[in-house]
Structure 1
Amino acid sequence: MELPNSKMVKHDGNNGRDRISELPDDALMGILSFLPPEEAVLKTSFLSHRWKQLWESLPVSGFNFHVPLPVCCRGGHVKNLKDLRDGKYMTVEDMKRECSKFVEWVNNVMISHQGSTIDELRVRFYLDKDSQRYIDKWIEIAMRKQVKKLELDFPSLLHRPSNAYYPFPKECFPGIEFLTSLCLVNVGVSDEAMEFVLSNCPMLETLHLKNSPLLIHPKVSCSSLRLKHLNISHSESIQTIEISAPNLVSFEYHKLRKVPFHIWYAPKLTELDYSNWLDFNIAYLVSQLYNYLPQLVTLRLSLFLMDLPRFPKFTSLRNLTCITASIDNRLLLLKSLIEASPLLHKFKLLIKDHKEFKSGIEEVGKEEAQPNKYLKEVEIVGFLGQPVEVEFVTYLLKIAIKLEKIVIHGKLERMTQNLAHQLMKNRPGAELVLL
Structure 2
Amino acid sequence: MANAAWDERDLKSCKSHGGKWNDGLNQLPDEVLLSIMSCLTMKEAARTSVLCHKWRELWPFFPGTFNFEDPNTVLERFSISDRAFFDQDTSNFVTWVSHVVNQHRGLAVEEFKVSFGLSNTYQSHIDKWVVFALTKGAKSLVLDFEPAHISSMMYALPLKCCDLLKCPYNLPSWKPALKTLFLKHIRVTTGILDCFLHSCPFLENLHIDGSTCLTSIRASGSPLALKHLHLYDCPDLQRIEIMAPELVTFRYVGQRIQLDIRNAPLLSEVSIGGGGEDPIAYAFDSLSNYFSQLKYLNVVTRIYLKGPAIDADLPMNMVVPPVSSLMNLKHLKLTIYARPYQTLLGWITLIEACPVLQKLTLELSTRNIFPLELDGTLEERSNAGSLGCLKTLEFCGFVGRRIDLEFATHVIRKAVALELVVIDFKIVHYSRIFNADLDASKARALGLGEILSPGAKLVLKE
Class of the TM-score when normalised by the shorter of the 2 chains: 0.7 to 0.9
| Aligned-partner residue type, residue 336 of structure 1 | T
Question: Quick one: structure 1 residues 113 and 67, their matched pair in 2 at CA, closer, same or farther if it must change by over 3 Å?
Answer: same
1:189 corresponds to: 188
| Alpha-carbon displacement from aligned partner over 1:9-29 (angstroms, at most 9, x marks no partner) | xxxxxxxxxxx9987483697
Question: Quick one: structure 1 residues 70 and 121, their matched pair in 2 at CA, closer, same or farther if it must change by over 3 Å?
Answer: closer
Query: Which aligned pairs between 1:380-399 and structure 2 lie closer than 5 A?
Result: 380-399=395-414
| Alpha-carbon displacement from aligned partner over 1:219-276 (angstroms, at most 9, x marks no partner) | 2435342101001111111122222211111111122x32222223322222111121
> Does 2:357 correspond to 1:352?
no
C-alpha distance in 1, partners of 2:422/2:157?
Answer: 43
C-alpha distance in 1, partners of 2:99/2:20?
Answer: 22
Q: 1:253–1:273: 8 Å Cα contact kept in structure 2?
A: yes
**Mean alpha-carbon deviation: is it higher for 411-420 or for 304-313?**
411-420
> Does 2:115 correspond to 1:124?
yes
2:337 corresponds to: 325
Query: Which aligned pairs between 1:103-122 and structure 2 lie closer than 5 A?
Result: 103-122=94-113
2:455 corresponds to: 429
Given candidates 3, 13, 37, the residue that maps to 2:42 is: 37
2:378 corresponds to: 361
> Does 2:204 correspond to 1:205?
yes
Question: Quick one: structure 1 residues 200 and 394, their matched pair in 2 at CA, closer, same or farther if it must change by over 3 Å?
Answer: same
C-alpha distance in 2, partners of 1:418/1:322?
Answer: 21
> Does 2:60 correspond to 1:56?
yes
2:82 corresponds to: 89
C-alpha distance in 2, partners of 1:397/1:345?
Answer: 13
Question: Quick one: structure 1 residues 222 and 404, their matched pair in 2 at CA, closer, same or farther if it must change by over 3 Å?
Answer: farther
**Mean alpha-carbon deviation: is it higher for 26-35 or for 111-120?**
26-35
Q: 2:319–2:347: 8 Å Cα contact kept in structure 1?
A: no
> Does 2:140 correspond to 1:149?
yes
1:375 corresponds to: 390
How far off its partner does 1:415 sit? 7.3
Task: Classify the secondary structure of the residue corresponding to 1:192.
Answer: helix
Task: Classify the secondary structure of the residue corresponding to 1:272.
Answer: strand
C-alpha distance in 1, partners of 2:41/2:223?
Answer: 37
| Alpha-carbon displacement from aligned partner over 1:357-398 (angstroms, at most 9, x marks no partner) | 644733x33x23211221111001122223443332221122
1:14 corresponds to: none
Q: 1:131–1:166: 8 Å Cα contact kept in structure 2?
A: no
C-alpha distance in 2, partners of 1:252/1:36?
Answer: 30
How far off its partner does 1:60 sit? 4.3
How far off its partner does 1:34 sit? 9.8
> Does 2:315 correspond to 1:312?
no
Task: Classify the secondary structure of the residue corresponding to 2:206.
Answer: strand
Q: 1:225–1:247: 8 Å Cα contact kept in structure 2?
A: yes
TM-score normalised per structure 1: 0.79
Given candidates 268, 289, 294, the residue that maps to 2:292 is: 294
How far off its partner does 1:172 sit? 2.7
Q: 1:283–1:307: 8 Å Cα contact kept in structure 2?
A: no
Question: Quick one: structure 1 residues 155 and 43, their matched pair in 2 at CA, closer, same or farther if it must change by over 3 Å?
Answer: farther
1:5 corresponds to: none
> Does 2:286 correspond to 1:274?
no
Question: Quick one: structure 1 residues 32 and 303, their matched pair in 2 at CA, closer, same or farther if it must change by over 3 Å?
Answer: closer
1:76 corresponds to: none
How far off its partner does 1:113 sit? 3.2
Q: 1:311–1:337: 8 Å Cα contact kept in structure 2?
A: yes
2:428 corresponds to: none
C-alpha distance in 2, partners of 1:415/1:126?
Answer: 37
Long gaps (5+) in structure 1: 1-19, 73-78
How far off its partner does 1:118 sit? 2.2
| Aligned-partner residue type, residue 312 of structure 1 | S
2:283 corresponds to: 285
TM-score normalised per structure 2: 0.75
Given candidates 394, 413, 428, the residue that maps to 2:439 is: 413
Q: 2:64–2:110: 8 Å Cα contact kept in structure 1?
A: yes
| Aligned-partner residue type, residue 351 of structure 2 | I
C-alpha distance in 2, partners of 1:33/1:291?
Answer: 44
1:4 corresponds to: none
Question: Quick one: structure 1 residues 140 and 27, their matched pair in 2 at CA, closer, same or farther if it must change by over 3 Å?
Answer: same
Task: Classify the secondary structure of the residue corresponding to 2:163.
Answer: coil
Task: Classify the secondary structure of the residue corresponding to 2:92.
Answer: helix
C-alpha distance in 1, partners of 2:115/2:444?
Answer: 46
Question: Quick one: structure 1 residues 422 and 360, their matched pair in 2 at CA, closer, same or farther if it must change by over 3 Å?
Answer: closer
Q: 1:38–1:109: 8 Å Cα contact kept in structure 2?
A: no
| Aligned-partner residue type, residue 37 of structure 1 | M
Q: 1:41–1:109: 8 Å Cα contact kept in structure 2?
A: no
| Alpha-carbon displacement from aligned partner over 1:118-146 (angstroms, at most 9, x marks no partner) | 22110123333443443333333333333
2:350 corresponds to: 337
Superposed CA RMSD in Å reads: 3.4
Q: 2:272–2:280: 8 Å Cα contact kept in structure 1?
A: no
Q: How many residue pairs are counted as aligned between the two chains?
A: 398
C-alpha distance in 1, partners of 2:97/2:404?
Answer: 51
Q: 2:215–2:237: 8 Å Cα contact kept in structure 1?
A: yes
| Aligned-partner residue type, residue 198 of structure 2 | S
Q: 2:116–2:145: 8 Å Cα contact kept in structure 1?
A: yes
Q: 1:371–1:400: 8 Å Cα contact kept in structure 2?
A: yes
How far off its partner does 1:291 sit? 2.1
1:17 corresponds to: none
**Mean alpha-carbon deviation: is it higher for 403-412 or for 316-325?**
403-412
C-alpha distance in 2, partners of 1:34/1:197?
Answer: 28
1:8 corresponds to: none
| Aligned-partner residue type, residue 379 of structure 1 | E
